Each structure stands twice: as structure tokens, then as C-alpha cells.
Amino acid sequence: MTRSEHVRALLEEYARQRAADEADLEARVAEACAREPRIAQLRSESAELALSAMRSILTQQSLEQRTALASNMKRQGQGINAKIRELLHGAGLPEDQLEPRYRCDKCRDTGYVGDAPARFCDCFEARLKLRQYEDGSMAGTDEQNFERFDADRIPEENGQREQMILTRKMCEEYADRFPQTDYRNLLLTGAGGLGKTFLLNSIFERVISRGGAAVRITAFRMFEAMRQRHMGSDEKLDGFSALIEAPLLLIDDLGTEPMMRNITVEYLFTLLNERIAAKRHTVIATNLTPVQIKERYGERVASRLLDRSACRAVQLKGKDLRSL
């Protein structure tokens, strides 16, 4: 995708987030009014006060009179708001129950800040950077998502179908609860063709559709980011930093990347270590077994990939679904 295509896609994502913000606010207002009907009456009084005051201000010719009316409206409005806060407290609700809650307070989830000409907000630029580094060769989320999961395609022998159904449920819960997951990291292991990439892409699609920020990438592209950082040739876009900073990083086919001295193991350790220290979420799919992970990358990397306190590892078994 070009930069302009990424911008359009991201603006659509922000539009979905604003719609979600509005729906959330409406739900919280309805809850407050249901618990304490007087809140609805006071909100109506506040709206009528503002409208009436604006009409009166427009009829006044002197600045002194307009200022006096505005000050009076402000005092009355503050009084109404104080009563609403008291009612909210009495109903066991937070003071900001009736206020919008934005993912980014600076741009209020519009993606823009400043007066004309407006510029993209820092949050938008950060997400755009992550999207631009996403591996474009990976399967589209319209093809691989939780809704397209078909249990009938999975053999029942040796519990393969049952295991995949349970793993799919676990991955969906992880995606739906992100970033408030029970464990930050997820490691999907097993032979090729068992559905690991499908599950990884499904997690990515669900998180993105809910307004989350995520980067998915193949192990080869990850290695390229490491190599560019090591060679100091990635000045235009620091891909390795983007991988470290992504709120959710999804790496597919770990173990297929080249093994280059002073790069692969060292930078993979740095990537994992920095993400763990920053408490960021990581999902990895690999054909390697835990023993092979330790043999390929060494004890330090393996300890971070297989840390049970922060990572849930699932080993898929059965027949290659691509051959059925």
C-alpha cells in the first residue's frame, strides 16, 4: 500500500473509533439517567440555558452587556453541573460518566490537531508509521479472521478439531480483551499447516477492527529491520524501533529468518527484552518446538519467549490442513 492508501485506511479507522466513542457516551448517559432521572432533567435545563443565553447575547450591541450575559450563563451552568456531579456520586457513578472518553485527548480521535491548515496528530503519525511497516505480503484479513473459521475442515482424529476450537476461542478472547489480557504474550507452535498463521491474522484483524494499534510481520521482514538497524541504513523509516514500540506485535514464521552473526540472535533478544520491559503485547507463530527455539536462539532468547509468567504457549498438533 502507498502512504496515501495507508492514510485513507487509518482515517477510516479513526472514524470507526469516533463512532465507538459516541456509542459509549450514549450508553453511559442512558445508564446515568436510568439510575437517577433528575440527571436527564438537569441536562435539559443546561442545554436550554445555553441556547437561551446565546440568543440573548446576539441581541446585545455592547461588549459589556454580552460579557455580563456570558458570565451569568457560565455561573448558572456551573451550578447545574455541580448538582449533576452530586447526583452521579449518589448513584455510585464517576464524575466523568457524562463526558466523552477519547483514545487520544489531544485530537479527540479525529487524527488532526491545530487550526487551518490542520496537521496529523502525533498519535496518527505513530499509527501510520506502524501501518507502513506492516508486511504487505501477508494474507488479507478479509480472508483470515475469526468469522471465517470453519471447524468442519479440521479432522476429528486424535482431538485435532477440539484442540483447534479451544485455541481459536482462546485467541479470540485475547484479541477482544486486548490490552487487558490475562497474559501479555502468546506463542503458537506446531508443524506447518495447522492454522497458526490463520489465528495470528485473526487476532490482528480483531484488534485493528476494535481500534487497537498492531503490527504484523513475517520473521524475514523482522530480520530485514534488524539488519537495516545494524547497518545504519534505515534512516527514512526506523523499522526496528517501530517493532519495539508497537502496542501489539505479531510475528509469523519465527525460525525461517536468516541466521546472521551479530544480528539475528542479538537483535531478537533486544526486541523481546525491550517489549517485555515496556509491558507490550507480542504474538508469535513458529514451527519450532521449545527445544528447537533454545537450540537456535540460545538460553537468553528462549527464556523470554517461554516465560510462563508473561506468555501462554500453545502447541498445535495433527494433520496439515493445506493438504486436505
Residue-wise DSSP of 76-119? HHHHHHHHHHHHHHHTT--TTTTS---S-TTTTTSSEESSSSPE
Residue-wise DSSP of 152-212? GGS--GGGHHHHHHHHHHHHHHHHHHTTS-SSSEEEEE-STTSSHHHHHHHHHHHHHHTT-
Angle separating helix axes 160-177 and 196-209, nearest 10 degrees = 30
What lies within 8 Å, CB to CB, of 276 at 6+ separation is: 184, 185, 304, 307, 310
Domain boundaries of the chain, sorted by first residue:
3-113, 134-323
Neighbouring-strand partners of residue 311: 185
Contact 188, 285 (CB under 8 A): yes
* pTM check: above 0.75: no
CATH superfamily, domain at 134-323: P-loop containing nucleotide triphosphate hydrolases (3.40.50.300)
Each residue's pLDDT expressed in tens, for the chain with a length of 324 residues: 666 777 888 888 889 888 888 999 999 999 999 999 999 999 998 888 888 888 888 888 788 888 888 888 889 889 999 999 999 999 999 988 999 988 888 899 998 888 767 788 888 887 777 666 665 545 566 678 898 888 988 998 889 999 999 999 999 999 999 999 999 999 999 999 899 999 999 999 888 888 777 888 999 989 988 988 888 764 545 678 888 988 899 999 999 999 999 999 999 999 999 999 999 999 999 999 999 999 999 999 999 999 888 899 999 999 988 776
